[in-house]
């Protein structure tokens, strides 16, 4: 799971990529690919973005993007800012800007969000709102196993929104974006819930499956080929009742990523 700076299409959006969200050098999905991954502690994505931001916001490219941004929007109260880090600071509640002035800056950031540096600055500005949206939806309680998955997905979905809406001029861009994020995150949770129901039989913890014929036949037909590993692991999970943690240890993989692989395999080849 890669997290932190949003870059262009060719750059890391390899979410579900093994989740090195703890590594600050990697980049947050620019929303050119939807999902963010899921193997970190609840706050790692947000923490990494916040820790990495001072360096990213004061980088040479961020200063260039800042100068261009300010030149395009001379009406904004940003005459004393030097880089995008300063701009994001002005958008905090403790800054001297009024609520209306902050809204004008966010509107302008969305207008220019096609620029990766501006995209990143706007994403940083909206991180508190991400937490609020996740809290409103109870972090996917009862649907996803851990809150970290919901947080990671919501950051990814917000990044997608910034790509989709870049260039728009919205007087209340911040609230509009967070409202749209809430809708997308709710739909994602509903899809996860539906997928959970469809794959329940492959996720039972300790009960070996009783119904063997059709499923066993499909698994046997997939053995020995390119899907041999997943067929073998699914057999062990379903018919032998072995725990996900035990299989992950033998497979030298993480339980969460193995769970996702098993679900995807079931969706594509067994259901």
User: Considering the chain, what is the average pLDDT of its residues?
Assistant: 79
Contacts of 9 (CB under 8 A, 6+ apart): 30, 32
Structural contact between residues 81 and 70, judged by C-beta atoms closer than 8 angstroms: yes
CA dihedral of 201, 202, 205, 207, whole degrees rounded to 10:
50
Averaged pLDDT for residues 5-29: 34
- Section 184-210 average pLDDT: 68
- Is the pLDDT at 260 greater than 80? The verdict is yes
What is the C-alpha to C-alpha distance for residues 118 and 106, in angstroms, rounded to an integer? 10
Q: What is the DSSP letter of 270?
A: I
Residues 6 or more apart in contact with residue 130 via CB below 8 angstroms: 46, 151, 154, 155, 158, 178, 181
Residue 262: pLDDT over 80: yes
pLDDT at residue number 199 = 63
Q: What is the pLDDT of residues 70-91, one digit of tens each?
A: 999 999 999 999 999 999 999 9
Domain ranges of the chain: 44-196, 202-270
Q: How confident is the model at residue 134 (pLDDT cuts 50, 70, 90)?
A: very high
Provide CB contacts within 8 A for 58, sequence distance 6+. Answer: 83, 84, 85
DSSP at 140: G
Query: What is the pTM (predicted TM-score) of this model?
Result: 0.61
Is 13 in contact with 119 (CB distance < 8 Å)? no
| 200 confidence band (pLDDT: 50, 70, 90) | low
What burial class does residue 161 get, using C-beta atoms within 10 Å of its C-beta: 0-12 exposed, 13-18 middle, 19+ buried? Answer: buried
Of 219 and 167, which is predicted with more confidence?
167
Q: What is the rounded distance in angstroms from the CA atom of residue 66 to the CA atom of residue 107?
A: 15
Whether residue 181 is predicted with pLDDT greater than 80 in this model: the reply is: yes
Please write the tens of the pLDDT for every residue from 223-256. Answer: 878 888 888 888 888 877 788 888 888 888 888 8
pLDDT over 90 percentage in the chain: 46
Mean per-residue pLDDT, 192-198:
77
pLDDT of residue 43: 52
Instruction: Give kind and range of the element (H or E) at residue 201.
Output: helix 200-203
- The owner of tokens 């980088």 is 59
pLDDT at 131 over 60: yes
Do 45 and 148 form a contact (C-beta atoms < 8 A)?
Answer: yes
pLDDT category of residue 195 using cuts at 50, 70 and 90 = confident
Whether residue 207 has pLDDT greater than 90:
no
Report how far residue 179's alpha carbon sits from residue 114's, in angstroms, rounded to the nearest whole number: 20
Q: What is the pLDDT of residues 212-230, one digit of tens each?
A: 557 777 777 888 788 888 8
């Amino acid at each position: 799971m890669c997290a932190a700076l949003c870059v262009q299409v060719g750059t890391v959006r390899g979410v579900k990529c093994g989740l090195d969200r703890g590594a600050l050098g990697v980049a947050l999905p620019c929303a050119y690919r939807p999902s963010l991954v899921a193997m970190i502690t609840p706050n790692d994505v947000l923490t990494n973005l916040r820790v990495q931001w001072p360096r990213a916001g004061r980088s040479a490219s961020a200063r260039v993007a800042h100068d261009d941004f300010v030149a395009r929007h001379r009406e904004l109260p940003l005459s004393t800012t030097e880089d995008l880090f300063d701009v994001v600071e002005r958008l905090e509640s403790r800054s001297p800007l009024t609520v209306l002035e902050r809204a004008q800056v966010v509107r302008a950031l969305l207008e220019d969000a096609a620029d990766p540096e501006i995209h990143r600055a706007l994403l940083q500005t909206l991180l508190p709102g991400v937490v609020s949206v996740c809290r409103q939806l109870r972090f996917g309680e009862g649907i996803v196993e851990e809150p970290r998955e919901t947080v990671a997905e919501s950051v990814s979905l917000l990044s997608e929104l910034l790509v989709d809406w870049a260039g728009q001029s919205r007087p209340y861009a911040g609230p509009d974006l967070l409202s749209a994020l809430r809708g997308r995150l709710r739909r994602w949770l509903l899809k996860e819930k539906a997928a959970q129901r469809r794959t329940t039989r492959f996720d039972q913890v300790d009960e070996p499956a009783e119904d063997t014929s059709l499923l066993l036949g499909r698994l046997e037909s997939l053995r020995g080929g390119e899907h041999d590993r997943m067929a073998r692991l699914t057999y062990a999970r379903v018919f032998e009742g072995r725990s996900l943690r035990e299989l992950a240890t033998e497979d030298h993989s993480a339980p969460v990523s193995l769970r996702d692989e098993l679900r995807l395999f079931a969706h594509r080849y067994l259901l």
